[in-house]
Structure 1
């Protein structure tokens, strides 16, 4: 019986499938180590049972939270215990003692939010690493994580009161600030083991008093190694804090009691520009006396990439400079200066910095939304810096790669500038380029470096560089790790930092807790080489011919592939300025599809639910397989031809991983590395079903534009049939879910009324309205409303309703048909002008703007794509011309359309309505229908759960508010939620309106036909 089966027999959720193994072979580091199984415990007792079973079998154990480790300490050979799936709740909050108890799998932002909620907004959990929206409490304890505000709040170890553990022999113990005890006082075996460990730890401390006092806790961010100084008598034999930072190598943290801190008030963000990161670092000692809560830094490469990938408005507000400090000043800062006026404190600080003579410019940001947006630039640093845009190249996808491995060193803040100067020289010596960001106020510098991890020569450069860098940081009295832990990335370098006696003490500490060495082997004690188990080492260089132009990040595609022919074709250099081929990957030699899917580096923003829109299916299921990261990891194993996923395009594991991808494209914007899973899914389906029978929905929905015209001619008959039992039979026959509300076809009269009167495109047309298949078939009144608005400034509008964007063929992976359709469309629309082409349906606009130039390798395709606008993104042009609509409602609910969000900007509709004085309540999340997805058999439950992320709560908040749904899918989702949600029983007539309808009088005159197919009884339950 294999270990997974044995655990399932015990009632443990365990999985050893090839797909699951691929998902958990990686974290956010450079490494790949397949486990033997993955488990999802629901309690400390489950964890103990897993440990005991693995101990009997002699199998190692790796505890894992959000899987965001950059040092490789969340992967390993053995059984992975994923604590984030179920053990993720706040157990209690005590406002009087300012403490909380929570499961180790709780996400840090969730813990902070729950603490604020339970204390009326007074208290929060302080540690806030940039990954806080998906990193877990157990992971923060394992690495002794810090965060952007650590200059005030310190490390996680400063906030831990108790740690509740499962030991390597499956016993439940509690480590406190003054000792170690059995969690259950009546558990004699646990009590005996606690006493045994405590005695051994006291002996360890007594035997090493001198080195514990002189080699540890010398700088604020000394995270490397074990925190044995907490065992000293003067520190009260603090076992809880001694275990923080032990990276799961000593015991498994199942929950913890943590200290809460007061919520900061009256915050201002100061953005200060400098010529270089070292100039910024030299000002840190001048800033610290002002007691800011944060002093963070970034360099220009990250800012350029953010602007190229998400638009220049995302970095609007940054002052002039090539490097920036983000300084948070609040009421506590003012009090430290004997003041109560936060703006006055900020002004005095800026005046002081000007007197230092290094700053170039500064901006004070007091708007909370703008402050949050700028902080996101810093928080996404790890992902943004991994695939950088070239600021001198107009192609946002061009640039080069950088990697972790030496990303986490720390020195005393007053030595940071000198360290950075010497570090820059070391990079140059090895022919490497570094992208710098980090916690300047705490002396901790994150640097991602252009290592070549794919070749033996590049890996040898990495090993030499890291050894030299370790020696450099030690000369500056620093630490190899400042918060990410040592893991597989730095543990083998610890002898350069610590004496042999200290290394011996570390080994003894590990042995006391884990005599068999079963817990997370390879971290801190007995580590492998830093170049062992690298994920990119010797990946087979086979070619993967594709239809999409996925070659944006690479220089030139191999001649055997079709990838370089689209808009992604670029001649940008793969080697960064100042580097030679010994230090940077020769990306031109990579197969473009391989390079594209390797864009995921595991930072896990797709697992967050506090910012952005991705990943809607993960937010619904909370299963790693349904995250963008999980899907990317399975694809990465596919292109490796790894044993876990070895059937290439035919792989059932990849097909399963992609099953619940909604193709919303939000990841292409929200993912810091620009992973575009919707495109990868289309490409995979294109090959997977080649010369095979497809799912029925690929014919019924995928070929929708081909049969919509015929269906429209018989609209009354079809609508009557859909309203009867035949509708559900037809849905089943087409591979659709019969519970899903089916759309009503517009009648021939409605199409004549709204479409026949629209002017055709002529030489005099100044704006072209592209009437897509969905608008033509289901809501032609939207086309007439859009034409009215577009012509409101006097521009002559010409309409085309004879072309297709190919969207349904793209989303179902029928790319041959999509390419032929789009080629005809490009030829028809490429008229030698730059007249804007405006589409009322955002998904169709996105297909023309984004997919057309990727699938069709012509100048005509590129010219047409450059002219395409969604209706919402074009509206500011009309407002700039002075047009204002008739009376508007005071407030609306706006359902954010995922494709609009991804391709035309997250705030395109919101910004236009706010300019018109309308209060916008944005439902920022996928509606759950997402084109084909919500209609397909097997997706209904997930579709409804996705709607609960944003849309359904927004409707319940005030069903009387107009709800703007530019996307036809979104409008269908609104109708369905209103029909099946018992909380909306009194508002069954709720329907979405297009922005064009809202801006005209057409809303009252041209209502959408009522849905003829009510949801089935099972859909209402």
Structure 2
């Protein structure tokens, strides 16, 4: 693609960015806060950190809110709106915070329903309906509906965290809108609250009911009379101007007021982006969910040819039809994402994912095979089994995050990411948009809902210079012209908001724009509901989160942040707001959000706070800021975000960096030295471990120590041991004596076994087992001759100067192994992650660092790579595996991150179950701390601990010291390291 940008020649001028308005404030904020605290039983937050947290959504825009209310129930919502009405304060209802057009950010009082108002009633399988509160996450609804073979058809890629209220606000769609329509098509009724305090239940209205409501008078009669007037006045224009395409999301749904649509006021409000009313509850229509599905992947020469074939594919009646291009896959590869899944796709540079449903698997398979046969002369088609289909869908769902912050590419931003055309026009539309992109030098993968003509992009706009911003504005104008020339809609799923609101007159004309204004005035005559969005919006290039005046603080850091051009501010900008860290049902990221449901304890929330800190506008005191420290305090440093976050936000590193500077201004608690330098205390304790253990567990003394170090009373101190020394065990192990009499030949390959603090001084049996396994596998095993520690606990407290001293010592001592290229086996995953991550980030210019990094292997990785003929012992029974967070952070999400370990364990012949248990909740010192114990246990009880208790006869495999402590301190089980399992029976003849 060309990188030449055309000269800017537009009538537009630079407008104020969010930085220019950051210090604007609502004059009555203090009085409003006091009034809210007197009447709201939920949470009222007007502090600086809360306002910073909610200053942006997933869009390009930023508005500092007046304050935040987290209502307990409907009465709290009513009280909030009443207080806002008293002080003439605007109100914004916010869903999951993933809005891409700017409708989720405003200088208003924000209502966040997701923490408490997230309940649902029973599914009614007869009427196929369910009543929900606005804060419920879509997947919770779908899970309940599936018990009756039903589903809620719209399912955007954010289905694991988007809320129903947000979906109603945006008129969300998703993959299976092809099967069951948009959100607007699946709403039965809404319970709403107007700014003036009026409560209504709205839905379809017969002509008789309409006349009755008007005749009754009052506020309701006035509202319905006004809506009838809009219908009668503009019906012909609505029929003429509203595009007859599957994905018209732009504008208000005035078509739902037409007689043929049964004057459905609820559906008319869908997609209104919170500009008219607050949604208190919704009754949803459910559709039959095909219980058997088969996915087919089709590869084409390019994405345009793929788009050309969409109408043909639609004749085969799929229930889902998605598309993506080769650039999306290139982006994933460059970010080291989905590397095992991408090869499942057919050859090509343009792809269609076509899903078929059936009443039986045979029926779904037959439809898929017939389809593949029909296309065999046109393109390559692959039919996937259930497991493969899940992996391929994950590739598609990674789209938004995968296209942001691609190494070697200019950053992609939203803006023109959402237009939709008729499927018959899709190929032509994409070619025209691509030509415009080339004209401006923009780059973006293309992906999305090809079956309904809606394609997503994340274009490489320059939003930091005047020329770049004006080019962005001019591009939007021309792109709109292209979409409308193809009979399309400016928005096909994400809404208009601020990104496209100003362009609506191009699409609808002046008369319908006046109809839209009349519609809003009927519901919100005071213009207090999410003002300046969709109707009378601010300009597209106004209120930008970046802007030509974007000049963040660039502090000196310990970590190099090379992938972010050496800038901590740039690193915090990585978060694009997609909210994958707010899922609560699978994976590891983000454990503290799973436990608390709090935005400030999500990866996204912390990233936004750190970004705001770099602006020096809302959050004061730089590194000394206490509210930022409090947000980071519940971060378990699990590093899951580095692998699970689509843009690889690395909160564990950000936390360590922040704390290192924070405690330049504050004295450290005693516990930091006790836990952070545990290697020193463990080494001293190993001289006389029995005495130390007796002292630690003595009544009274134990209580005093726990009190001094703020350790929860229920926690037990891990027991120290003497360190592992191979020669000391010879006398007790006949097999070892035999091996010593018949030593391995000098030509046997060498391996270095890392003696980490936890296994060496607490669980030496693991070291002994690993030594045995490696020796029996034919390797000459050597160990450190010095006390060495990678310093893993130091990072939890930001003790980075000490951590660097530890790592420099390791580089010096291990120079012979580094020079010889000797593989190094590390048993503790958290230690391995230091060598693979923190080491090179702290010493980017030391050539020894990347060399050492390349030599580090977990035991499973080493055996699979260097001992391919190794045969694990035969084991009968069941093995339950809990993967360490850092293990998965290094090697991948889900079972893919445990591939080598599971391969070895399954080779034993045992039944192996890999838990999707996320973080165990212990996370080093985290689970020992008094104020974090409850969260620690909540995380452990989510999946891991019940699974352990439910499998009393199984072997529990967990390689992390902290994970084992959580299990042993909360159950009767005695978990084992992989090394112990492999060493429990000789694998020699």
* TM-score normalised to structure 2 length: 0.91
Residue 310 of structure 1 deviates from its aligned partner by: 3.1
Given that 1:171 and 1:190 are in contact with CA atoms closer than 8 Å, whether structure 2 keeps it comes out as: no
Given that 2:412 and 2:444 are in contact with CA atoms closer than 8 Å, whether structure 1 keeps it comes out as: yes
| Residue correspondence of structure 1 range 375-454 to structure 2 within 5 A | 375-389=393-407, 398-454=408-464
Aligned equivalents of 1:848, 1:29: Cα separation in 2: 36
Counterpart check, 1:790 vs 2:790: no
* Equivalent residue, structure 1, for 2:656: 682
Which one of 827, 845, 860 corresponds to residue 832 of structure 2? 845
Provide structure 2 residue ranges, at least 5 long, that are not aligned to the other structure. 1-29
* Equivalent residue, structure 1, for 2:966: 973
Aligned equivalents of 1:316, 1:911: Cα separation in 2: 20
| Structure number with higher relative contact order (C-alpha < 8 Å, ≥ 6 residues apart) | 2
667-676 or 168-177, larger mean C-alpha shift: 168-177
Aligned equivalents of 2:425, 2:264: Cα separation in 1: 30
**Distance change >3 Å, CA 496–CA 548, structure 1 → 2:** same
| Residue correspondence of structure 1 range 226-375 to structure 2 within 5 A | 226-307=252-333, 308-310=335-337, 312-331=339-358, 341-355=363-377, 357=378, 359=379, 361-366=380-385, 368-375=386-393
950-959 or 102-111, larger mean C-alpha shift: 950-959
* Equivalent residue, structure 2, for 1:567: none
Provide structure 1 residue ranges, at least 5 long, that are not aligned to the other structure. 335-339, 390-397, 555-562, 564-591, 979-987, 1004-1021
Residue 889 of structure 1 deviates from its aligned partner by: 3.8
Aligned equivalents of 2:684, 2:215: Cα separation in 1: 76
Aligned equivalents of 2:260, 2:381: Cα separation in 1: 45
Which one of 665, 683, 693 corresponds to residue 719 of structure 1? 693
Given that 1:792 and 1:883 are in contact with CA atoms closer than 8 Å, whether structure 2 keeps it comes out as: no
Which one of 160, 165, 171 corresponds to residue 192 of structure 2? 165
**Distance change >3 Å, CA 477–CA 887, structure 1 → 2:** same
Residue 139 of structure 1 deviates from its aligned partner by: 0.8
Which one of 895, 919, 922 corresponds to residue 911 of structure 2? 919
Provide, for residues 522-552 of structure 1, a one-character-per-residue CA deviation record: whole Å limited to 9, x for no partner: 1111100011111112222442211112121
Aligned equivalents of 1:801, 1:515: Cα separation in 2: 78
Given that 1:754 and 1:780 are in contact with CA atoms closer than 8 Å, whether structure 2 keeps it comes out as: no
Residue 249 of structure 1 deviates from its aligned partner by: 0.7
Given that 2:205 and 2:264 are in contact with CA atoms closer than 8 Å, whether structure 1 keeps it comes out as: yes
Residue 887 of structure 1 deviates from its aligned partner by: 2.4
Aligned equivalents of 1:783, 1:520: Cα separation in 2: 61
Residue 752 of structure 1 deviates from its aligned partner by: 7.1
Counterpart check, 1:133 vs 2:160: yes
Residue 201 of structure 1 deviates from its aligned partner by: 0.3
Aligned equivalents of 2:619, 2:744: Cα separation in 1: 52
* Equivalent residue, structure 2, for 1:776: 760
Which one of 868, 871, 881 corresponds to residue 868 of structure 2? 881
Residue 290 of structure 1 deviates from its aligned partner by: 0.8
* Equivalent residue, structure 2, for 1:818: 803
* TM-score normalised to structure 1 length: 0.88
Counterpart check, 1:907 vs 2:898: yes
Tell me the SS of whatever aligns to 2:467: helix
Aligned equivalents of 2:798, 2:623: Cα separation in 1: 12
Tell me the SS of whatever aligns to 2:188: strand
Tell me the SS of whatever aligns to 1:685: helix
Aligned equivalents of 2:936, 2:495: Cα separation in 1: 39
* Equivalent residue, structure 2, for 1:577: none
| Residue correspondence of structure 1 range 496-575 to structure 2 within 5 A | 496-537=506-547, 538-554=549-565, 563=566
Aligned equivalents of 2:468, 2:910: Cα separation in 1: 56
* Equivalent residue, structure 1, for 2:631: 657
Given that 2:712 and 2:933 are in contact with CA atoms closer than 8 Å, whether structure 1 keeps it comes out as: yes
Given that 2:752 and 2:781 are in contact with CA atoms closer than 8 Å, whether structure 1 keeps it comes out as: yes
**Distance change >3 Å, CA 801–CA 678, structure 1 → 2:** farther
* Equivalent residue, structure 1, for 2:16: none
Aligned equivalents of 1:346, 1:598: Cα separation in 2: 43
**Distance change >3 Å, CA 2–CA 992, structure 1 → 2:** farther
885-894 or 479-488, larger mean C-alpha shift: 885-894
Which one of 592, 595, 598 corresponds to residue 570 of structure 2? 595
Given that 1:144 and 1:245 are in contact with CA atoms closer than 8 Å, whether structure 2 keeps it comes out as: yes
Counterpart check, 1:69 vs 2:43: no
Provide, for residues 158-204 of structure 1, a one-character-per-residue CA deviation record: whole Å limited to 9, x for no partner: 1110111111112221111227999xx9x999983222211110111
* Equivalent residue, structure 1, for 2:856: 868
**Distance change >3 Å, CA 782–CA 676, structure 1 → 2:** same
| Residue correspondence of structure 1 range 941-952 to structure 2 within 5 A | 941-952=934-945
Counterpart check, 1:954 vs 2:947: yes
Aligned equivalents of 1:139, 1:754: Cα separation in 2: 63
705-714 or 491-500, larger mean C-alpha shift: 705-714
Counterpart check, 1:708 vs 2:682: yes
Residue 1002 of structure 1 deviates from its aligned partner by: 7.2
Aligned equivalents of 1:292, 1:544: Cα separation in 2: 53
**Distance change >3 Å, CA 451–CA 973, structure 1 → 2:** same
Given that 1:24 and 1:34 are in contact with CA atoms closer than 8 Å, whether structure 2 keeps it comes out as: yes
Given that 2:153 and 2:179 are in contact with CA atoms closer than 8 Å, whether structure 1 keeps it comes out as: no
* Equivalent residue, structure 2, for 1:9: 38
* Equivalent residue, structure 2, for 1:582: none
Residue 761 of structure 1 deviates from its aligned partner by: 14
Which one of 842, 855, 869 corresponds to residue 855 of structure 1? 842
Considering only aligned residues, what root-mean-square deviation do their CA atoms show, in Å?
A: 2.5
* Equivalent residue, structure 2, for 1:22: 52
Given that 2:242 and 2:508 are in contact with CA atoms closer than 8 Å, whether structure 1 keeps it comes out as: no
Aligned equivalents of 2:745, 2:798: Cα separation in 1: 32
Tell me the SS of whatever aligns to 1:400: coil
Provide, for residues 933-988 of structure 1, a one-character-per-residue CA deviation record: whole Å limited to 9, x for no partner: 1122321111111112221221232233221110000000001211xxxxxxxxx3
